[in-house]
Amino acid sequence: MTAQISERQLKVNGIDMRITQQGSGPLVILCHGWPELAYSWRHQLPAIAAAGFHAVAPDMRGYGQTSAPKDVGEYTLFHITGDIVALVAGLGEKQAVVIGHDWGAPVAWHCAMFRPDVFTAVVGLSVPPRPRGPARPLGMLRKMGLERFYWIYFQEPGVAEAEFEADPVLTFRKLFYPKANEALRGTGGGLNLKPGEGFLSLAQPADQMPDWITEADIRRFALTFRRTGFRGGLNWYRNIDRNWDLTAPWQDAVITQPALFIAGTHDAVIRGVIGERALAEIERMVPNIRGKVLIEGAGHWVQQERPAEVNAAIVEFLQANAR
């Protein structure tokens, strides 16, 4: 009989981290994205545990019941991957498989790149690994004419926070509405906001939420973010250029561990030109990739939208590659 889900607080890497866990066996850590919580993995924890693994989903740095440092500079990839390395040790283990969705995917890819001695395999959802570019990302966006790209909109402290925190229920109803993805297609221009408009102008709330998320789920996200605010997660974006500076030693580095990529075919991240190119070239950065699973009709929130297919792909990969 598989153990029930439990929660606990740990001190890791100088912060207090809240984890949700289930099962026993080889360690599997699941990193959520923006703006989410460990709760985003609610469908995966039981499936991974039932397959004979110790599944652990933290509230990531800046989210939920995990610490949210005040200093913007404490949200770099070094800090966040350091949290996951420290979590492995804090759980009494030396190695783990790391899985990430959305912003959690770059965290997972970089955990594997930075510490192959700790992370024996990696799964990325939604965001494929991308090579380090020739210049700072925000400057490159501006040169492309994307002055109102949402990454740039998120840079000024307080602006996006005010938009998202005005009505967290409406925020999550808009973010989780699948047709919002239709507005985000293209080369990146679909995410270039109009003057005077915010991020949420890209989507309209659904009259009726899709069947993969309930009003209770929306309330759970909204109540948590009403308490914590959105600043912690937005600070990840405020380190995009700093991350480029810090990762200079890993220019042209590859990820050698067994890897898996999963995304929905309607996910805007892989439908634009940049995402399509990254997906097509994934073997160059991850030469030991074991599969690219594209789930027909699924959008960005793939592990919540289509849990059965995501779980099947993850469990098959873990059984073949986890040790």
Among 273, 286, 268, 244, which residue's Cα sits nearest to residue 177?
268
> What would the mean pLDDT of 259-278 be, rounded to a whole number?
87
DSSP string across 156-221: STTHHHHHHHS-HHHHHHHHT-GGGGGGG-SSSGGGBPPTT--GGGG----SS--TTS-HHHHHHH
Of 197 and 38, the structure prediction assigns the larger pLDDT to 38
pLDDT band at 218 (very low <50, low <70, confident <90, very high): very high
Q: How far is CA 187 from the centre of its chain?
A: 21
Say whether pLDDT at 104 is over 90. yes
Residue 288 DSSP label: T
Please report, as a single letter, which amino acid is at residue 113.
M
The answer to whether 16 touches 279, Cβ cutoff 8 Å, is no
Q: How many CB atoms lie within 10 A of CB 297?
A: 10
The pair of structure tokens assigned to 2 is 């598989």
Return the ∠ at Cα 235 (arms to 165 and 257), rounded to 5°: 125
Cα separations (Å) of 90 from 52, 156, 238, 319?
A: 20, 35, 28, 24
Average pLDDT, whole number, for the chain?
93
Say whether pLDDT at 187 is over 50. no
SS3 112: helix
Question: Which residues are designated catalytic?
Answer: 102, 300
Residue 85 DSSP label: H
Say whether pLDDT at 179 is over 70. no
pLDDT band at 2 (very low <50, low <70, confident <90, very high): low
CATH architecture of 6-321: 3-Layer(aba) Sandwich (3.40)
pLDDT of residue 67: 98
Report domain extents, the chain. Answer: 6-321
pLDDT of residue 316: 98
pTM, 2 dp: 0.95
SS3 71: coil
**Phi/psi-derived region of residue 2, left when phi > 0, alpha when psi is between -120 and 50, beta in every other case:** beta
Alpha-carbon gap, residue 281 to 287, rounded angstroms: 10
Alpha-carbon gap, residue 291 to 172, rounded angstroms: 31
Alpha-carbon gap, residue 193 to 146, rounded angstroms: 9
pLDDT digits (tens, 9 = 90+) for 282-315: 999 999 999 999 999 999 999 999 999 999 999 9
Alpha-carbon gap, residue 63 to 58, rounded angstroms: 9
Residue 19 DSSP label: E
The answer to whether 257 touches 116, Cβ cutoff 8 Å, is yes
pLDDT digits (tens, 9 = 90+) for 64-103: 999 999 999 999 999 999 999 999 999 999 999 999 999 9
